[in-house]
Amino acid sequence: MSYIEFKNVKKSFEDTEVLKGISLSIEKGEFISLLGPSGCGKSTLLRCLSGLEEVTEGSFILDGRDITKDAPQKRNIGMVFQQYSLFPNMNVEQNLAFGLEIKKVPKEQIKKEVQSALEMVGLLDKKKAYPANLSGGQQQRVALARAIVSKPKVLLLDEPLSAIDAKLRKNLQIEIRRIQKELNITTIFVTHDQDEAMLMSDRVCLLNEGKIEQVGSPVEIYTNPKTKFAAGFIGHYNVLDADEFYRAFRDEKTKKSAIAIRPETIQISLEKQNHENSYEVQGKIIESRSVGSVLRYHVDLNGINVRVDTLFRSFSLFENGQDVWVSLEKRNCLELI
Amino acid sequence: MKKKNLIGNVWEFIIALFLILPLVVTFIYSFAGRWISILPENLTFDFYKEKFSDGQFFAGILRGIFASAVPVILTNVFVLLALFAVIVYFPKVEKYMQLCCIIPTTINGIILATSILSTYAGSNTIFSNRIIMLICAYCIFCLPLTYQGIRNSLYAVNTKRLLEAASILGAGEFYGFVRIIVPAVLPGLVNTALTTFAGLFGDFAIIKIIAASQFETAQTYLYKNRNTDIQAFSAGVVILLVLTMVINLIVHKNAAKDSKRRKEENV
């Protein structure tokens, strides 16, 4: 049996069904991300697991115990919210001690635990500071320390980095992962940022409209998306239905509903390459844009717009309106369900 | 642009002068000794000494404090509890609560006092007691401001989210309310309470209609004796004015501190 199990979890708000039967198993010490667009139900799922929302149907098993009906206070879960939710009337030390005091931990031990948690997040010198006097990044680190100080069975992170600027966000992503590994704490991380999910997680659970689209390791999800949604959401795949694929690459009609092609697996050149097991078709550059170190071309293939990513190199620059040859290895065409 | 500013400043000055002049004259008059020409011949503290040694005046001030503090405390406690319940558990009810709390702003204080008096004076219930009637009238009178102040404070600290964070850490709802929410909203609560207190303490109209005969505050006492010694009356008015000003200054200082804290939080 897995450490955490979601069994057919359903949640409705009045007439709207937000979670449509989620079943998922999470192992002890695993870092899993719930990834999906806004409104897909990822935060609701987290709130249901924490007990802040009641499920309409289904159950949660944590460490062999059914916690579905337990109050949030009884679940032994730590949670970090998007807006930090630090207690403004308490300083950092008091914020961290709050949960331990409720559990009636002896004062000396509280002091030790708080000290060690603050050391872990690198905020020992700020223990007397009030939340109002801390930066966003520091507040989020305090929130993280507060969540882990009482050694919960599972740590829930509800988009904890979304209110933080890009540079600090990168640092905190690394820091959260480091702390998670150090404590070997089972962690569920909610995000809508696929790069963040890919960077931090052992596994990614992709959600869409209240249902799980795909669960797998970041590499697995990136290289082998199973559905149209997964292909579109992860890695900016070109998703072509059978008809479009036939028109673009002049191939026999596939029986699958759609084909996904990663933009970086398509090559463009001025002359035909004659590669084996590849599609080689002519097209016209209709737009080019630089995205950091990547040049993103939009190529018209017989009326079908296909995205192609190449590294920004002087010998691979093409003009808008230029006729080019497009080469695609057949093994890079992923058939979707 | 400059001309417009100049006209604006002149208008502001005229209005300020119009409002402040009676206070300044009262202030000077309360210190004036013999005054038979344009300016007083000498200044004296005699009228203040007289007021400070007037037991009835001080008893009136204490009664005024009592009559203002009790409704402020009651309203704050009930509105805080009700709003907390509404925000956390029954958000849909909030619009009705807002409606109920805002209604008193549409009723003139004198009409409110007269209506309460005519309804309850001969009712032979607990409300026919003039002091209870006065406290209840004051509760209604300070309801809109108290409601708005507490509502803003509860939303500013994100009550629901803080309570959720507390419950995840193991706190029961009541414990979370007492340990987290009340201290977090306390600065706003104190400001609102002091503002309403200053408003009630300065009231003359409602108390005169409802309870002047049985419950003499400093204001009603001064009014009753206004013709016996005008300068002592002025000294009494200045003392009350200073008390109210001190309360307003505290509110202002707290509000400035609160606003600075919020700005820092946003940074």
What are the average pLDDT values for consecutive 10-residue runs of chain B, which has 267 residues? 81 93 88 77 84 86 91 95 94 92 86 87 84 91 93 92 94 92 90 89 85 81 80 87 86 78 59
- Asked if B244 contacts B84 with a C-beta cutoff of 8 angstroms, the reply is no
In angstroms, the CA B106 to CA B103 distance is 6
| φ/ψ bin of A258: left (φ > 0), alpha (ψ from -120 to 50), beta (otherwise) | beta
A-chain CB neighbours of B153 within 8 Å are: none
Q: What is the mean pLDDT of residues A136-164?
A: 90
The amino acid occupying position A132 is A
SS3 A261: strand
Q: Does any CB of chain B come closer than 8 Å to the CB of residue A73? A: yes
Of B35, B15, B75, B21, nearest in space to B199 by CA:
B75
Task: Find the angle CA(B76)-CA(B79)-CA(B83) to the nearest 5 degrees.
Answer: 135
φ and ψ at residue A17, rounded to 5 degrees: -90, 110
Compute the Cα dihedral for A72, A78, A83, A87 and give only its sign.
Answer: positive
Nearest CA-CA distance, residue B134 and chain A, Å: 36
CA angle B15, B195, B18 (to 5 degrees): 10
Q: What does the pLDDT read at residue A98?
A: 94
Q: Which of B168, B264, B265 shows the shortest C-beta gap to A50?
A: B168
Of B157, B158, B170, the CB nearest to A73: B170
- What DSSP line would sit under B127-143, residue for residue? GGSHHHHHHHHHHHHHH
- End-to-end, the C-alpha distance of chain A in Å comes to 29
Q: What is the mean pLDDT of chain A?
A: 89
Please state, in angstroms and rounded to a whole number, the distance separating the CA atoms of residues A269 and A197: 34
Specify the CATH superfamily of domain B53-266. MetI-like (1.10.3720.10)
- Select from B167, B172, B264 the Cβ nearest to the Cβ of A132: B264
Residue B107: per-residue pLDDT: 84
pLDDT at B251: 81
Q: Which residues of A touch B186 (CB under 8 A)?
A: 89
Check: CB of residue A55 under 8 Å from CB of residue A217: no
* Tens-place pLDDT, residues A82-93: 888 999 989 999
Give the bridge partners for A16, in sequence order.
A13
Nearest one of A64, A32, A70 to A50, comparing CA atoms: A70
Angle, nearest 10°, between helix axes B230-266 and B55-88? Answer: 30
Residues facing residue A203 across a β-bridge = A32
Q: Model confidence at A1, in pLDDT bands (50, 70, 90)? A: confident
Among A62-76, A205-219, A265-279, the minimum mean pLDDT is found in: A265-279
Min CA distance, A289 vs chain B (Å)?
35
The pLDDT, as a whole number, for residue A285 is: 93
Break chain B into its structural domains and give their ranges: 1-44, 53-266
Amino acid at B144: P
Place of tokens 């916690």: A67
Under the banding of pLDDT at 50, 70 and 90, the label for residue A316 is low
Predicted pLDDT at A172: 86
- A252 and A246 Cβ atoms separated by less than 8 Å: yes
Residue of B nearest to A77 (CA): B168
Nearest-angstrom CA–CA distance, A76 and A53: 16
Percent pLDDT > 90 in chain A is 56
**A236/A37: higher pLDDT:** A37
What span, in angstroms and rounded, lies between the C-alpha atoms of A136 and A125?
16
A155 vs B contacts (CB less than 8 Å): none
Contacts of B184 in chain A (CB under 8 A): 87-89
Q: Select from B168, B174, B260, B261 the residue whose CB has the most chain A CBs within 10 Å, as the one to mutate to test that interface.
A: B168
Place of tokens 């507040």: A139
**A75 sits in which H/E element:** none
Distance, in Å, from the CA atom of A265 to the CA atom of A101, rounded to the nearest integer, reads 56
Tokens of A210: 């209240």
Asked if pLDDT for residue A216 goes beyond 90, the answer is: yes
**Residue A164 has what pLDDT?**
80
Three-state DSSP class for residue A18: strand
Segment A237-295, tens digit of pLDDT: 899 888 888 888 877 655 667 889 999 999 998 888 888 888 889 999 999 888 878 88
**Contact yes or no for A8/A57 (Cβ under 8 A):** yes
CA distance B162 to chain A (A): 6
- How many Cα atoms sit within 13 Å of A123 on the Cβ side? 29
pLDDT of residue A35: 94
Residue B243: predicted pLDDT? 87
For residue A253, count CB atoms less than 10 angstroms from its CB and return exposed for 0-12, middle for 13-18, buried for 19 or more.
Answer: exposed
Give the span between the Cα atoms of B245 and B20, in whole angstroms.
14
State how far the Cα of A73 lies from the Cα of B95, in Å rounded to an integer: 31
A 10 A CB-CB count for B241 gives: 15
The Cα–Cα gap between B169 and B185 comes to 20
Chain A residues with CB inside 8 Å of B265's CB?
A: 88, 131-132
Q: In whole angstroms, give the CA distance from residue B40 to residue A56.
A: 82
Quick check: A302 contacting B, CB < 8 Å? no
Measured between alpha carbons, how far is A108 from A89 in angstroms, rounded to an integer?
23
B contact set with A (CB within 8 A): 157-158, 161-162, 164-172, 175, 179-180, 183-184, 186, 261, 264-265
- Count of CB contacts below 8 A, A vs B? 62
pLDDT of amino acid A205: 95
Cα four-point dihedral sign A165, A120, A113, A79: positive
A112-145, pLDDT tens digit by residue? 999 999 998 888 889 899 998 898 889 999 999 9
CB contact under 8 A, A103 and B180: no
What's the CA angle centered on A123, arms A120 and A127, to 5 degrees? Answer: 120
The DSSP call for residue A28 is T
Average pLDDT over residues A310-329: 83
Helix (H), strand (E) at residue B244: helix B230-266
Q: β-strand A294-301 against A304-311: which pairing, if any?
A: antiparallel
Quick check: A154 pLDDT over 70? yes
Which of B153, B169, B174 to probe the A interface (max A CBs under 10 A)? Answer: B169
Instruction: For residue B253, give the H/E element and its range.
Output: helix B230-266
Which stretches of A57-106 are DSSP H helices? 92-102
Q: Tell the residue number behind the tokens 């799980």, with chain if given.
A: A212
pTM of the model: 0.79
Q: In 10 A of CB B36, how many CB atoms?
A: 6
- For A89, the closest chain B residue by CA position comes to B184
